[in-house]
Amino acid sequence: MTVSPTRRGLTLTAAAREFIRHPSPWLIGATLVAALSARILHGHWEIGDAIVALAMLAVFPFLEWTIHVVILHWRPRRIAGVTVDPLLARKHREHHVEPRDIPLVFIPWQSLVWVLPLAVAIGVLLFPATGAGLGRGLTFLAWLSVLGLGYEWCHYLVHTDYKPKTALYRSIWRNHRQHHFKNEHYWFTVTSSGTADRVLGTYPDPATVATSPTAKNLHGAAG
């Protein structure tokens, strides 16, 4: 029997069972297994691998913020007579309308089938394809997969009825819930407690922010 992730008294174990029923954790997880296996087989471990990992941890909140603002909150527009409205933006608008609809929480698999190969291509372009350079590229891809899985899990968990047990998760939970139920123009980070938001000016005192009438209806347009 499947336990609903919006059921009161939800445990982490029950939440995890639901989490693995969705496509994106498997697609990202498969990428992680492939990248990590290739990295281990390749060898050539150097300090550069640690630098790549630390740099990605520092940059990821800003990448997350940028994707959320620029892509997920994309306003449909006509360019050269064609309406540009990507699937990620459409699904994110639906997610704001129904934030408790769990399938809408996840990155659409249709997007991942091109995003994941793009990530591989970026790894190839950023690092030389031989020796230690290849190793750093594989480290990049493995860490990106770890961060992607972390994003999916954290975002999913915030939208379930699992109650925060630690101060860190409570702050992350509160941050993202304010984005959905207070004002969609602020609090764009998901996996950290306002890190990029604090730097980029989207982490106001909630008491000073008016409740937005379009938090569940982005851009004031349905769908």
Segment 168-187 mean pLDDT? 95
Which residue shows structure tokens 């699937």? 87
What whole-number percentage of the chain has pLDDT above 70? 94
Distance CA 102, CA 22 (A): 9
Distance CA 8, CA 206 (A): 26
Distance CA 49, CA 27 (A): 24
Distance CA 70, CA 63 (A): 10
CA distances from residue 102 to 57, 88, 212, 214 in whole angstroms, order as listed:
27, 15, 23, 21
* Phi and psi angles of residue 221, each rounded to the nearest 5 degrees, phi first: -125, 140
User: Is pLDDT of 223 > 50?
Assistant: no
Mean pLDDT score of the chain, rounded to an integer? 92
Looking at residue 150, its pLDDT comes to 97
